[in-house]
Chain A
């Protein structure tokens, strides 16, 4: 077989079909782990979509390496004393890709579109905004229904992306087929599931720092193949290689690996009040939930599955995050204590648990390890692998007892906890409910000082980490591997590929 293959390949090489490399323009080829959804900032929802937006749609604000909020299309901002008015000064003389001015009117248009468009996924993020006023061509004022600390952080993501009013009005809900924003690159073409091509925008406000002519994004789902493309020189940068492939990448002298702890987390959601499945010791007793947590060795999971590259987690933000509650460090494994808690809760025989696991090879492996660990403490975790769509419905309808759930993360801690822990929050799959917790969560949003918010989050931690319905497991390392020819790339915790300042040698 091999020799036949080899003979064929020689024929191919002789025909001159081998890939050609030379090209006059400089092109950056990026391998994505999935195919992005629609490229409309109002309607988009996927993580990979945000990576593409990073080159075509600038935002009012951005984050820096320390998660501070820095201006991008905005110049500055000011919040009124009562926290109900945010005034944003805009960068002057900025143009959209179609030449339209990116001014206060355009900002009002974009934010109104986010708020009012049918099917907008930005609506809830911005729901606190009552009205947007154009003060002058370079100033807008956001009137809020209540003080809302996470607002600016929200504007560092898709809600802060501004679209050309002219193009958006013309295209309606088909805007995503050819988005027109104010980013360093303009959209050229997209072939679904094959490639998205963007080219340098000559009138970009910061054009001196943009030197690569074109960027091609290619979705390649298989991580082995994605890495193969990088090694073979068909791609210049790939996102999310496997942790287990890291030694191989490091061995390759042509490649650079960058790593940063993610903003999100991977955890296990427990059903405490969502339907009949919650009516069992795990759902009813916080002691049993803590016993399960104590049965799990997070370090071992990290070592076995991720070569020790990830960060064991016990909270909704990573231990190196400024909002992490240092009073509650990551607990170690303690099988004896777990058994004792189970006995106190009156659980005698091995406790069977319906453990719903999304069908992702890594998650499945983690689930198998947890299964083995929990068994030693007296839990019989029955793994049920479900595909994505089924998992969502099952979770919604409460047909699970434990559920492996990942969250991609937001720069502001609010995005990682509020909707998960608040009574009837849309992401509160376990239907946990506690009035004290709800109040603390509200305080965390309305507090106007950082200290005030931190105090509120400490109150959240007191309830949530003791009784709550999520066992946090680990924070992934966001990995990006790229060729050494690419210079000037820095990876921030959100995992985005920021293209301003990049050079290809």
Chain B
């Protein structure tokens, strides 16, 4: 928090446009100064790379069974051990990154894409739009997350894509609500009143003045929802509505491992660790971004 190189103006965001450096560039510069966030970013990059390069870096075919090597402990041949039908767990963890990362990122992307604009609209416009959207949000939030996701996924048909859509839709109301709540809090601020007084159009006020203020809690929520989404994918896989066998996802690997916790703990340890490290990385990155994006912090 110390050693401020460039004195960033501690002014209200309405005046931000006066600064020559773009907010995005400034955020990146600030983020680079946070070692934890950079490590997290590196971890996420490695995970994404692993997912993309899976065919080249995985030591074995992730679905190749070997019935003579069922549930073998980690060894030189299988670094992470083998699973219930003798598949290499390391290879499955690498390939599983594809399913689990896309489940996390794409579903949250869907939720953001629908939730934020609607939340902005509801909070800023108020009136009937707000009433209708808020009631719908209340209704969706009032129905249990897993029930909604199960129903949607079962209706769409079992596949990874449909699971992502189901998780995304189910996670939408929380973004809508959060955005709306922040908008309501910010709308009363002086600089927004001022912007409105000088005759800025609604969309401009929403995008320029309100959205940046909505960002910090949203980013925190995004990182947390990615975590939830990865685990939700696991739950849906558990119910047969996620990744279809034999293709792996971390969640489905963990669920399979549940039956063998005492005999073959490595089956649970490695996919569990992959989920843990990824979620942790997203959270630390989100945290760093929060500080970097927040115009009020130096």
**A and B: bona fide binding partners:** yes
Interface residues of A (CB under 8 A from B): 222-224, 242, 244-245, 247-248, 300, 303-305, 357, 359, 361-362, 364-365, 367-369, 371-372, 383-387, 390
Taking the closest CB of chain B, its distance from the CB of A277, in whole angstroms, is: 15
Chain B, residues 222-245, CB within 8 Å of chain A (1/0): the string is 000000000000000001110011
- Chain B residue nearest to A389 in the complex (CB): B154
Contacting pair A304 B85 (CB below 8 A) = yes
Contact of B85 among A244, A372, A386 (CB under 8 A): A372
Q: What are some 8 contacts across the A-B interface (CB < 8 A)?
A: A224-B259, A244-B263, A364-B240, A367-B245, A368-B65, A369-B65, A369-B67, A383-B244
Could you tell me if B260 and A244 are in contact, using CB atoms closer than 8 angstroms? yes
8 nearest CB pairs, A to B:
A359-B240, A385-B240, A372-B65, A304-B67, A383-B245, A368-B246, A368-B245, A304-B70
- Interchain CB contact (< 8 A) of A361 among B65, B86, B255: B255
Assuming A224-B261, A361-B256, is B246 touching A386 (CB within 8 A)? no
Residues of chain B within 8 A (CB-CB) of A248 are 262-263
Measured CA separation A248–B265 after assembly (Å): 14
Give complex CA distance A300, B70 in Å. Answer: 11
> Which residue of the partner chain B has the closest CB to A372?
B65
Q: Which residues of B contact A300 (CB under 8 A)?
A: 67
Determine the distance from Cα of A31 to Cα of B259 in the docked complex, in whole angstroms. Answer: 17
Query: What chain B residues lie within 8 Å of A367 (beta carbons)?
Result: 245
Q: B287 — which chain A residues lie within 8 A by C-beta? A: none
- List residues of chain A with CB within 8 A of the CB of B67: 300, 303-304, 369
Chain A residue at smallest Cβ distance from B264: A244
Q: Which residues on the B side are within 8 Å of A361 (C-beta)?
A: 255-256, 258-259
Is B158 a contact partner of A386 (Cβ separation < 8 A)? yes
- Tell me, yes or no, whether B88 is within 8 Å of chain A by CB: no
A245 to B262, CA, bound (A): 9
Provide the residues of chain B in CB contact with A304, threshold 8 Å.
Answer: 67, 70, 84-86
The minimal Cβ–Cβ distance linking B198 to chain A, given in whole angstroms, is: 54
Known: A383-B244, A383-B246, A387-B241. A368 touches B85 (CB 8 A): yes
Taking A304-B86, A383-B244 as known contacts, 11 extra A-B pairs with beta carbons closer than 8 A to each other, sorted by chain A number, are A222-B258, A224-B258, A224-B259, A244-B260, A245-B263, A368-B65, A369-B67, A371-B245, A372-B65, A384-B158, A387-B154
A359: which of B70, B84, B85, B239 is its contact (CB, 8 Å)?
B239
User: Could you tell me the distance in whole angstroms from the C-beta of A374 to the nearest C-beta in chain B?
Assistant: 12
Q: Taking each of B84, B154, B244, B255, which has the highest tally of chain A beta carbons within 10 Å of its own beta carbon?
A: B84
Contact status A385-B259, CB under 8 Å: no
Measured between alpha carbons, how far is A369 from B86 in the docked complex, in Å?
10
Flag if B158 contacts A305 (CB, 8 Å): no
Q: Which of A303, A362, A372, A386 has the most CB of B within 10 A?
A: A372
Which residues of chain B are within 8 angstroms of A386 by Cβ–Cβ distance? 158, 240
A235 to B: closest C-beta gap in Å = 17
Q: Which residues of B approach A to under 8 Å, CB–CB? A: 63, 65, 67, 70, 84-86, 154, 158, 239-241, 244-246, 255-256, 258-263
Q: How far is the CB of A135 from chain B (nearest CB, A)?
A: 54
Contact across chains for A390 and B154 when beta carbons are under 8 A apart: yes
B68 → chain A, closest Cβ, in Å? 9
A385–B244 CB distance below 8 A: yes
Beta-carbon nearest neighbor of A242 in chain B = B259
B259 touches A244 (CB 8 A): yes
B85-A369 in contact (CB<8A): yes
Chain A residues with CB below 8 A from B84, complex form: 304-305, 365
**Alpha-carbon distance A362/B258, docked complex (angstroms):** 12
The distance in angstroms between the C-alpha atoms of A384 and B84, with both chains bound, is 19
Alpha-carbon gap, A386 to B159, bound state (A): 11
Q: Whole-angstrom distance from the CB of B32 to the nearest CB of chain A?
A: 31
Across the interface, which residues of A come within 8 angstroms of B158, CB to CB?
384-386
Which residues of B have CB within 8 Å of A371?
Answer: 245-246
Q: How far is the CA of A357 from the CA of B258 in the complex (A)?
A: 19
Chain B residues with CB under 8 Å of A247's CB are 263
Cβ–Cβ contact A365 & B244, under 8 A: no
Bound Cα distance A8, B279 (Å): 26
Alpha-carbon separation in the docked complex, A223 to B263 (Å): 14
Give A224 Cβ to nearest chain B Cβ, in Å. Answer: 6
Min CB distance B258 to A, Å, is 7
Query: Would you give the shortest CB distance from B156 to chain A, in whole angstroms?
Result: 12
Is there an interface contact between A365 and B85, defined as CB atoms closer than 8 Å? Answer: yes
| A317, B224: Cα distance in complex, Å | 53
Q: Which residues of A contact B241 (CB under 8 A)?
A: 385, 387
